[in-house]
Amino acid sequence: MSARTPAPLAVPVNGGPVSIVWFRQDLRLADNPALSAALQRGGSVIPVYIDSSSEEGNWAPGGASRWWLHRSLESLDAALRARGSRLIVRRGTALHELQSLCRECGADACYWNRRYEPAARERDKLIKQTLRSTGYIAESHNATLLAEPWELLTQSGGAYQVYTPFRRRLLAHIKPAAPTPAAAQVPAPRQWPKSLSVAQLQWLPAIPWYRGMAAVWRPGEAGAAQRLQDFVASPLTHYAQRRDQPGIEGTSRLSPHLHHGELSVRQVWHGVLRATGAGADAADPRCEKYLAELIWREFSYQLLHHFPHTPEAPLRAGFARFAWLEDRSALRAWQTGMTGVPLIDAGMRELWTTGWMHNRVRMVAASFLVKNLRQSWQSGARWFWDTLVDADLAANTQGWQWVAGCGADAAPYFRVFNPVTQSRKFDPQGHYLRRWLPELARLADAQLHAPWLADAAQLRAAGVTLGTSYPRPIVDLQDSRVAALQAYRQMRA
């Protein structure tokens, strides 16, 4: 078993202190402050990943994330091996595993990069206290954000709840540090502790439902660097015009790499500034729109930090008594891309197949679930959590509450997307719809976005039988919109 083979001794085995670097959502060697701090200390370094799913509260990685993690950890292990080291993989409660590791290999220090999810924060705090009180060095660093959530507060010392002033403050006060390159060598200890293999985590499903994902994604630091390079080389140039068109490669697709920390937001920030020639000016029109998205990410983390209940409950307390419906078959139709509304179904199938959905379509599909079907935003957030390779508690929570109208700086409750209008506007040629809905591919553009409006001859000519080869819409868009507005009015009364 490869996990038990000794590391290649590319560098001399080191004496001196032994430090543990605990990898979590920072699966990279470049621009990794915890790793840098451990290396700077001298001596040897033990890179560790711990599967502590049981400590993640309601939010242990979902199926798509576990597939990604499997691949990313393999990639991290390979990158470490190329530097004379390897990745140690353990399973259990994090504190227990870290303590065992320290005992097993005489380590006296643990370094990690911060996480911001409520359950992880509490646990990490306890770990830090316990390690320190028992004589160990325990240090946490920032590898994930441009600004720590407690660094950017309003004049009155509170958390920002509106995006624009948050953005203004971030741009005025934060100058993202230049990313640091990966170390050429990671000194190995005299003896490696016990380790599972990545495969033993059993995160690679027995049934290969991940094929569609593997075809699209290359998890790991090298794949992330490649994606960034591809993005700045082309789509970035037309980002402002093309980011909303799901049928073309107009977005960065960096979200899963960023979530797992295969590249840092600082690397992306500086990479984008350099590629556009904007110098240090984040407000330069050539990169402003894209950098604004990175700042939305910061905003989400800031909200999660200051309002840790929001993954489960609405930020605006009044929404707690909103009358959501509970219709399992409607939820199922949405999940499987069988609602009969093409843009929704295309998006949900893209999600199921690739583990990702275009952002414009995410907004429309979420609006459809929460408003037209009136299912709770939590039920949608849970499905996304399980199926997205970029599932990120801060971004997912913020996104769903934004759509549902119950979050900070949220879309007003009355803002209901019309999926047909959105489809005609952002996928006028139907490239996206035809890719994901082959059963409708032969419909003309005029009928494609709303096949129920086509006449019998048009449907027949396209080989479409509504109710058989493709569903009729499971809700009337007009009626359900009016009903949603009615329900919101009732809640407010």
Residue nearer to DNA on the CB measure, 168 or 489: 489
- Whether 203 is a known active-site residue: answer no
Contact between residue 88 and residue 193 where contact means Cβ atoms under 8 Å apart: yes
Q: How far is the CB of 157 from DNA (least distance, A)?
A: 25
> Distance from CA of residue 157 to its chain's centroid?
29
Please report which helix (H) or strand (E) contains residue 90, including its range.
strand 88-91
- Of residues 39 through 78, those in contact with DNA by CB under 7 A are none
- Whether 192 is a known active-site residue: answer no
The strand pairing partners of 20, in sequence order, are 46, 110
Q: 192, 377, 383, 385: which one is catalytic?
A: 377
**Pattern 291-330, binding to DNA, x per CB under 7 A?**
--x--x----------------------------------
Q: What is the DSSP string of 119-177?
A: HHHHHHHHHHHHHHHTT-EEEEE--S-SS-TTT---TTS----SHHHHHHHHHHH--PP
Residue nearer to DNA on the CB measure, 78 or 292: 292
Q: What is the 3-state secondary structure (H, E, C) of 30-64?
A: CCCHHHHHHHHHCCEEEEEEEECHHHCCCCCCCHH
d(CA 83, CA 11): 8
- Whether 209 is a known active-site residue: answer no
| 478 touches DNA by CB under 7 A | yes
| 414 touches DNA by CB under 7 A | yes
Q: How far is the CB of 59 from DNA (least distance, A)?
A: 22
Contact between residue 183 and residue 47 where contact means Cβ atoms under 8 Å apart: no
| 492 touches DNA by CB under 7 A | no
- Return the range that interacts with DNA (CB under 7 A); candidates 17-25, 325-333, 407-415, 435-443: 407-415
- Return the range that interacts with DNA (CB under 7 A); candidates 123-131, 138-146, 267-275, 420-428: 420-428
| 487 touches DNA by CB under 7 A | no
SS3 (DSSP) at 7: coil
- Of residues 154 through 173, those in contact with DNA by CB under 7 A are 163
- Whether 249 is a known active-site residue: answer no
| 363 touches DNA by CB under 7 A | yes
Q: How far is the CB of 443 from DNA (least distance, A)?
A: 20
| 421 touches DNA by CB under 7 A | yes
**Pattern 2-41, binding to DNA, x per CB under 7 A?**
----------------------------------------
| 175 touches DNA by CB under 7 A | no
- Return the range that interacts with DNA (CB under 7 A); candidates 4-12, 152-160, 386-394, 419-427: 419-427
CA-nearest of 305, 29, 20 to 138 is 20
Please report which helix (H) or strand (E) contains residue 111, including its range.
strand 109-113
Q: How far is the CB of 168 from DNA (least distance, A)?
A: 14
Half-sphere exposure of 360 (CA within 13 A, CB side): 24
Q: How far is the CB of 415 from DNA (least distance, A)?
A: 4
Q: 217, 356, 400, 402: which one is catalytic?
A: 400
Residue 123: φ, ψ to 5°: -65, -45
Among 269, 384, 417, 432, binds DNA (CB under 7 A): 417
Among 185, 359, 483, 487, binds DNA (CB under 7 A): 359
d(CA 370, CA 402): 11
Contact between residue 102 and residue 110 where contact means Cβ atoms under 8 Å apart: yes
| 349 touches DNA by CB under 7 A | no
Among 415, 431, 460, 492, binds DNA (CB under 7 A): 415
Q: How far is the CB of 216 from DNA (least distance, A)?
A: 22
- Whether 334 is a known active-site residue: answer no
d(CA 185, CA 20): 15
Q: 55, 56, 74, 293: which one is catalytic?
A: 293
| 404 touches DNA by CB under 7 A | no
d(CA 484, CA 282): 39
- Of residues 276 through 295, those in contact with DNA by CB under 7 A are 293
d(CA 120, CA 25): 11
Contact between residue 364 and residue 419 where contact means Cβ atoms under 8 Å apart: yes
Within 8 A by CB and 6+ apart from 229, the residues are none
Q: How far is the CB of 427 from DNA (least distance, A)?
A: 13
Among 196, 485, 487, 491, binds DNA (CB under 7 A): 485
- Whether 293 is a known active-site residue: answer yes
| 372 touches DNA by CB under 7 A | no
How many residues form the binding site for DNA (CB under 7 A)?
21
| 209 touches DNA by CB under 7 A | no
Q: How far is the CB of 403 from DNA (least distance, A)?
A: 8
Within 8 A by CB and 6+ apart from 285, the residues are 240
Q: How far is the CB of 93 from DNA (least distance, A)?
A: 37
Q: Give the end-to-end CA distance of the chain in Å, rounded to a whole number.
A: 65
Amino acid (one-letter) located at 58: N
Sign (positive or negative) of CA dihedral 459, 462, 468, 474 = negative
* Contact footprint for DNA (CB under 7 A): 163, 293, 296, 359-360, 363, 411-412, 414-418, 421-422, 425, 477-478, 481, 485, 489
User: What positions carry a catalytic annotation?
Assistant: 293, 296, 324, 359, 377, 400
